[in-house]
A and B are shown apart, each in its own frame.
Chain A
Amino acid sequence: MGSGHGTELNLTLKVWRQKNAKAAGSFETHQLTGISTDMSFLEMFDVLNEKLIHEGKEAIAFDHDCREGICGACSMYINGRPHGPKNLVTTCQLHMRSFKNGDTIVVEPWRSAAFPVIKDLAVDRTAFDRIIASGGYVSVNTGNAQDANNILIPKEAADEAFSAAACIGCGACVAACKNASAMLFVSAKVSQLALLPQGQVERKERVKKMVAQMDEEGFGNCTNTGACEAECPKGISLENIARMNRELTAASLK
Chain B
Amino acid sequence: MSQGFLKSSVGKKVLMGLTGLFLISFLLVHCFINSLIFFNDGGLTFNTAAAFMAHNWLIRAGELVLFAGLILHVIQALILTLENRKARPVGYAKFDGAANSSWYSRSMGLLGTLLLIFLIIHLIHFWVKSRFTGLPGEDANGNENLYAVMQFTFSIGIVVVIYALSMISLAYHLLHGFQSAFQSLGLNHKTYTPLIKKAGVAFSLIIPFIFALMPVLMYFGVIK
Contacts and interface: CB of A to CB of B under 8 A. Distances in A.
Interface of A: 14, 16, 27, 77, 79-81, 85, 106, 108, 111-114, 176, 178-181, 183, 208, 211-212, 214-215, 218-227, 230-231, 238-239, 241-249, 252-253
A224 B184 contact: yes
Interface string B184-195: 111110000000
B92 to A, nearest CB: 6
A41 B89 CA distance: 27
Interface in B1-17: 1-2, 4-5, 8-14
A160 to B, nearest CB: 10
A211 B188 contact: no
A180 B87 contact: yes
B193 to A, nearest CB: 8
B101 A225 contact: yes
B180 interface: yes
A80 B96 contact: yes
A238 B183 contact: yes
Interface stretch (B41-49, B63-71, B78-86, B214-222): B78-86
Interface string B101-132: 11001101000000000000000000000000
B94 A227 contact: no
Contact of A246 (B2, B5, B186): B186
B184 A211 contact: no
18 contacts: A81-B100, A85-B99, A111-B91, A111-B92, A178-B101, A180-B84, A181-B87, A208-B4, A212-B4, A218-B86, A219-B9, A221-B13, A221-B80, A225-B100, A226-B101, A243-B186, A246-B187, A247-B186
B10 A249 contact: yes
Nearest to A214: B9
Interface residues of B, number: 42
Contacts of B179: 224
Contact of A112 (B87, B99, B183): B87
A227 B108 contact: no
A43 B187 CA distance: 43
A215 B9 contact: yes
Contacts of A208: 4
B93 interface: yes
B140 interface: no
Nearest to A187: B10
B97 interface: yes
Given A108-B93, A215-B9, A226-B100, A179 B88 contact: yes
B61 interface: no
Contact of A178 (B4, B90, B97, B99): B97
B95 interface: yes
A54 to B, nearest CB: 28
A80 B94 contact: yes
User: When A and B form their complex, which 5 residue pairs have the shortest distance between CB atoms, in order from nearest?
Assistant: A80-B96, A246-B186, A242-B188, A220-B87, A230-B100
Given A227-B101, A242-B188, A179 B87 contact: yes
A223 B180 contact: yes
B176 interface: yes
Contact of A245 (B80, B90, B93, B184): B184
Contact of B8 (A85, A215, A224): A215
A80 B92 contact: yes
A99 to B, nearest CB: 14
Given A224-B180, A224-B184, A238-B188, A252 B4 contact: yes
Contacts of B94: 79-80, 106, 108
B80 A223 contact: yes
A225 B106 CA distance: 6
B164 to A, nearest CB: 27
A183 B180 CA distance: 14
Nearest to A82: B100
B5 A248 contact: yes
A227 B100 CA distance: 5
Contacts of B2: 252
A246 B182 CA distance: 11
Contacts of A106: 93-94
Contact of B96 (A81, A212, A214): A81
A113 B188 contact: no
B77 to A, nearest CB: 10
